[in-house]
Amino acid sequence: MKISIVTPVYNDVRVARALDSVLGQRLQGELETIVIDGASKDGTLKILENYRSRLSVLLSEDDRGIYDAMNKGVQRATGEIVGILNADDRYADENVLQDVLKAFEDPSVQAVYGDLVYVDANDSVVRYWRSVPYRRWRFYLGWMAPHPTFFVRRSLYQQHGLFDLKLGVSADYEIILRFLMKHRAKPAYVPRVLVRMATGGNSNKSLRNILRGNKEVLMSWRKNRLPMGYFVPVIKPFSKLVQFVSRPIG
């Protein structure tokens, strides 16, 4: 089974660490590595050139933001399975993708996700996003699968569309809602940490972004014509509080 990993990047030299975590995977299947750079103006492109021979696709051009870059990567993917790893994130260990592919051995499974930890500049865990087995009703309580751990069959993008750029910082939330809630794609949960994510994600950088994100969450429900989503923007922020007191097992 072939898996495509898309990494969007703009002015972030930490992409080297992300790519090392992808290229260092112990994988029985075939790996396709796609990097979409938004015409970086720092030293990022020079770093990417050092990886060019090991990348399946390296594209550098102006874009309309991170989700536009993700869309470009997904459109170029040829693997049956597609995952997205941001430039400032990395896989937790060398067995992550093999565990993901194992979950996809069940032909009825259309998406796979797992746990995620936020780490600071010293690589210390400051927050643990523990997921749970999927239940539709959890969306009403503010649940969301951690997007960097979210892998899907490429056919989902082909059938149900790409990231909606109108949704801004909540485009990842919307596409998960669309795939799982609206179109009822069957997911599988891998109960372990799959990704180490740097703190300071785009949707959490400022109070303004948080408030904007909550508005876009409501827009996501309306767009997909899903009922009873009006309370989710209120509940969703509280669902994150447990992440600050949870810790990985083992």
Give 214-242 pLDDT, tens digit per residue: 788 888 888 999 886 555 555 555 555 55
More confident: 239 or 1: 1
230, exposed or middle or buried, with CB in 10 Å at 0-12, 13-18, 19+? exposed
202: in domain? yes
In a domain, 249, yes or no: no
* Cα 27 from Cα 97, distance rounded (Å): 7
Q: What pTM value is reported for the model?
A: 0.88
**Residue type present at position 171:** A
Read off the CATH number of the domain in which 191 is found: 3.90.550.10
User: Does residue 109 lie in a domain region?
Assistant: yes
Question: Is the pLDDT at 20 greater than 60, yes or no?
Answer: yes
46 has a pLDDT exceeding 70: yes
- State which residues form the domain around 73: 2-244
CB–CB of 87/35 below 8 Å? no
